[in-house]
Amino acid sequence: MKTKILTLLKNTDSYLSGQDLCNQFGVSRTAVWKAINQLKEEGYVIEAVPNKGYSLKECPDVLAYSEIKSVLTSKWAGQELFCFDTIDSTNTKAKQLAEEGANHGALVVSDNQSGGKGRRGRSWESPVSTGIFMTLILKPSLNPSDASMLTLVMAIAVAKACNKLTKDSCFIKWPNDIVLNRKKICGILTEMSAEMDYINHIVIGIGINVNMDTFQNELKEKATSIKIENGYPVKRAELINQVMLCFEEEYEIFMMHHTLEAQKERYNNMLVSLDKEVVIMEPSKEFIGIARGINSKGELMVEKEDGQMMAIYAGEVSVRGIYGYV
Amino acid sequence: MKTKILTLLKNTDSYLSGQDLCNQFGVSRTAVWKAINQLKEEGYVIEAVPNKGYSLKECPDVLAYSEIKSVLTSKWAGQELFCFDTIDSTNTKAKQLAEEGANHGALVVSDNQSGGKGRRGRSWESPVSTGIFMTLILKPSLNPSDASMLTLVMAIAVAKACNKLTKDSCFIKWPNDIVLNRKKICGILTEMSAEMDYINHIVIGIGINVNMDTFQNELKEKATSIKIENGYPVKRAELINQVMLCFEEEYEIFMMHHTLEAQKERYNNMLVSLDKEVVIMEPSKEFIGIARGINSKGELMVEKEDGQMMAIYAGEVSVRGIYGYV
């Protein structure tokens, strides 16, 4: 009921009468009053005016179940929702929930991560109540060999969602980072559980630097937050909603043909290194080329010095700009 | 110590002196006597002759830790061993253990499965103390897209191991079954947890019909056991050892080049449908062709009626003989 009251409060310009709430939910005035008080304790500023009712004046930036649910306008992505204050890793939790029967579209969100994972088990800094740490569970009818493209689909969605807040200043660093003013604001980590020819489930973990004020030491050079670049904070729950909405749209396009053919132009328009020199780092050697964008399989096409085109798969290879991270 | 005493007993033709055992393990006569008694309770027939010592006269067909360890001569496959009397599914347990840090080569064995899984979640009959239900955990440096070939590597290993007991009467039904006299004795279910370009772990589940006396109803037409075909039972722990030894050998060959090039001839020589007519069942249609063996990627090459060769991937397609299961 708390979630429903909050949703009503958010969608009303004027006042909500206490008696109307009682009638609507079939509960007592005391029950409504308790729910309102709980919301106040969570940081919502709710004005109560006699003979008029309740009015929401201010929302805190929390990632509680009620808050996210009250702003979530997606069809399926995130509608089954699991929220945590702190968690080891949202990917680990999501894999466990998926094994136990969580459905396609279920979302795990945490205000903080104590053991956040970057690619290949690298650690990932997770300060309290400033970032978004979430993992979306998917159970698509898809060949396991096509699953890696979903990372790029999510990259488009996150970049689009962040661009609504940053006047189109966000770009994609192939394959799975989002950068703002040439510094990282988001990483995406996709993991899959599959049989030979059948996907059990996919989890897509997303970490977004939203409201951090500062980064330590060497991270300072490479990472930033939306708040640092914008100069003002952002409501994280609303950004989650935007990411879910954008992902639903992009996912449906991708699932029509299981290729990125219809999306590669959009991806490439946001590619930070498009038509720029990049360093391709293979395990044994490095070389320089010009990034020409992804192909329909999500591989990065790089033009070598001799004019030859080369398709880079996100395997043992990493790509950076010639002057640093991007 | 029980495992060590059992191993010594198995490797001695004559008698093991109780005093020698005490000296070797630095324990009391009582401790040795207790371990011997535990083994007797588990079904081992151990003769104790005054002034000579202990001699093992008979081994039960159990899948206990001590029994498997005492016969296991592999280098790494199965040396980290987890044994259960009964378990939901060895694949599910293995995935959990792999997440929690079980190493490459760890093996989960159960005497019985209460929720055994076939491909795509189909159920799989698991009677008590007659079958082998085991799952091998692997953490290879391998591209996720190459992982499905490991099912075929295991198929070669299981077929070779079973052939030592069945005078080379076992064949492979592409991609992941072993048949004996045209009936199924083994299914293999490979599952993978992976990032885009990095395998977290692979689990290969193996169910072998070893000592079943009969199968019910429609299964009778399609399934058999080694005991039914041979007319006498087999020691399951010894078969596990043979599978581990054969797998180690085949795995090392496969991992040299990550293709089945060096093994496809061997696989094809055991392919039950080689040069025979098969029915290819696609989701929307069926057609008949002649199976010409696998290629180096593990796809089944089928010659169509017009002479054209077609590579079948173990996706939505299944293959059967024109007269039934094989």
B90 known ligand binder = yes
Lowest mean pLDDT segment, chosen from A119-133, B77-91, B217-231: A119-133
For every residue of B183-224, DSSP letters joined together read EEEEEEEEEEEEETTEEEEEEEEEEEE-S-----TTHHHHB-
- Whether B102 contacts B59, CB under 8 Å: no
B137: CB partners within 8 A, 6+ apart: B94, B97, B98, B102, B103, B104, B105, B106, B107, B108, B201, B202, B203
> Which CATH number fits the domain A65-269, given the four candidates 3.20.20.450, 3.30.930.10, 2.60.40.10, 2.60.410.10?
3.30.930.10
| Residue scoring higher pLDDT (B267 or A176) | B267
Distance from CA of A47 to the nearest CA of B (A): 48
pLDDT at A94: 97
Which residues of B are less than 8 Å from A200 in CB distance?
191
Interchain proximity B197–A315, CB inside 8 Å: yes
Residue A93 · residue A107 · CB < 8 Å: no
**What's the pLDDT score for residue B124?**
55
What does B155-173 look like in DSSP terms, one character per residue? HHHHHHHHHTTTTT-EEEE
Residue B120's pLDDT is 55
Give the position of tokens 């209460």: B114
Quick check: do A2-58 and A277-321 share a fold? no
The amino acid occupying position A307 is G
Rounded Cα–Cα distance for residues A275 and A272 (Å):
9
Pairing of strands A286-294, A300-303: antiparallel
Give CA separation, A10 vs A4, A45, A49, in Å.
10, 12, 17
Mean pLDDT of A115-128: 60
- A142 pLDDT above the threshold of 70: yes
CB spacing of A99 vs B99 below 8 angstroms? no
Minimal C-alpha gap between A275 and chain B (Å)? 25
Among the listed residues B198, B188, B193, the one whose alpha carbon sits nearest the alpha carbon of residue B98: B193
Q: Residue B192 pairs with which residues in a beta bridge? A: A194, B202
CATH code for the part of the protein at B277-321: 2.30.30.100
Please state, for a pLDDT cut of 70, what percent of chain A lies above it.
94
- Backbone phi, psi, residue B321, to 5°: -70, 165
Q: Does A204 touch chain B (CB under 8 A)?
A: no
Q: Is B91 annotated as a binding residue?
A: yes
* Amino acid, single-letter form, for residue B155: A
Contacts of A313 (CB under 8 A, 6+ apart): A299, B197
How close does chain A come to B195, measured CA to CA in Å?
4
Closest CB to A148: pick one of B175, B196, B200: B196
What the block records as the tokens of B278 is 């098969």
Retrieve residue A201's tokens: 């489930």
Is A194 in CB contact (< 8 Å) with chain B?
A: yes
Q: How confident is the model at residue B177 (pLDDT cuts 50, 70, 90)?
A: very high
- pLDDT given at position A5: 92
Instruction: Determine what percent of chain B is predicted with pLDDT higher than 90.
Output: 72
Q: Is the pLDDT at A318 greater than 90, yes or no?
A: no
Task: Tell whether the model's pLDDT for residue A169 goes beyond 60.
Answer: yes
**CA distance linking residue A62 with residue A68, whole number of Å:** 8
The answer to whether the CB atoms of B197 and A99 lie below 8 A apart is no
Q: Contact, A190 vs A118, CB < 8 A?
A: no
Rounded CA gap, A133 and A113, in Å? 7
What integer pLDDT is reported at residue B122 of this predicted model?
Answer: 58
Q: What span, in angstroms and rounded, lies between the C-alpha atoms of B253 and B264?
A: 11
Mean pLDDT of B28-40: 92
Given pLDDT bands bounded at 50, 70 and 90, which one contains residue B317?
low
Q: Convert the pLDDT of each residue in A46-89 to its tens digit.
A: 999 998 999 999 999 999 999 999 999 999 999 999 999 999 89
- Provide the ipTM: 0.76
Answer yes or no: do A119 and B194 touch at CB < 8 A: no
Interface with chain A: mutation pick from B100, B195, B203, B317, highest number of A CBs within 10 Å: B195
The Cβ of residue B50 has, within 10 Å, a number of other Cβ atoms equal to 6
What is the per-residue pLDDT across A245-300, written as a single tens digit (0 to 9) for each? 999 999 999 999 999 999 999 999 999 999 999 998 887 888 899 999 999 999 99
- Which of A197, A198, A229, A199 lies closest to A213, judged by CA? A229
**What part of A 86-105 touches B (C-beta under 8 Å)?**
92, 95, 99
pLDDT of residue B285: 84
From the list A120, A193, A197, the residue facing B193 with the nearest CB is: A193
Q: B316 or B311: whose pLDDT is higher?
A: B311
- Give the span between the Cα atoms of B9 and B40, in whole angstroms: 13
Distance, in Å, from the CA atom of B249 to the CA atom of B291, rounded to the nearest integer, reads 27
The mean pLDDT of B42-60, rounded to a whole number, is 92
Query: For the domain A2-58, what is the CATH code?
Result: 1.10.10.10
Domain positions in chain A are 2-58, 65-269, 277-321
Query: Which residues in chain A have Cβ-Cβ distances shorter than 8 Å to B204?
Result: none
DSSP secondary structure letter of residue B79: T
Tell me how far the alpha carbon of residue A228 is from its chain's centroid.
18
pLDDT at B183 > cutoff 80: yes
- Number of CB pairs < 8 Å for A and B? 69
> Residue B121: what pLDDT?
56
**CB-CB under 8 Å, B175 with A151:** no
Chain B interface, best mutation among A137, A195, A258, by max B CB count within 10 A? A195
A192 has a chain B CB within 8 A of its CB: yes
Question: What's the whole-number mean pLDDT along residues B244-263?
Answer: 97
| B11 marked as part of a ligand binding site | no
Q: Per the omega criterion (within 30 degrees of 0), is the bond before A175 cis?
A: yes
Instruction: Give which of A262, A248, A253, A117 is closest to A190, Cα–Cα.
Output: A117
Phi, psi angles (nearest 5°) of residue B282: -90, 165
Look at residues A169, A189, A187, A190 and name the one whose alpha carbon lies nearest to residue A178.
A187
Q: Which residues pair with B158 in a beta bridge?
A: none
Please state the rounded mean pLDDT for residues B17-42. 90
Q: What are phi and psi of B155, to 5 degrees?
A: -60, -40
User: Which contiguous run of DSSP H or E holds residue A199?
Assistant: strand A198-209
Nearest to B119 among A190, A195, A314 (CB): A195
CA distance A159 to A206: 12
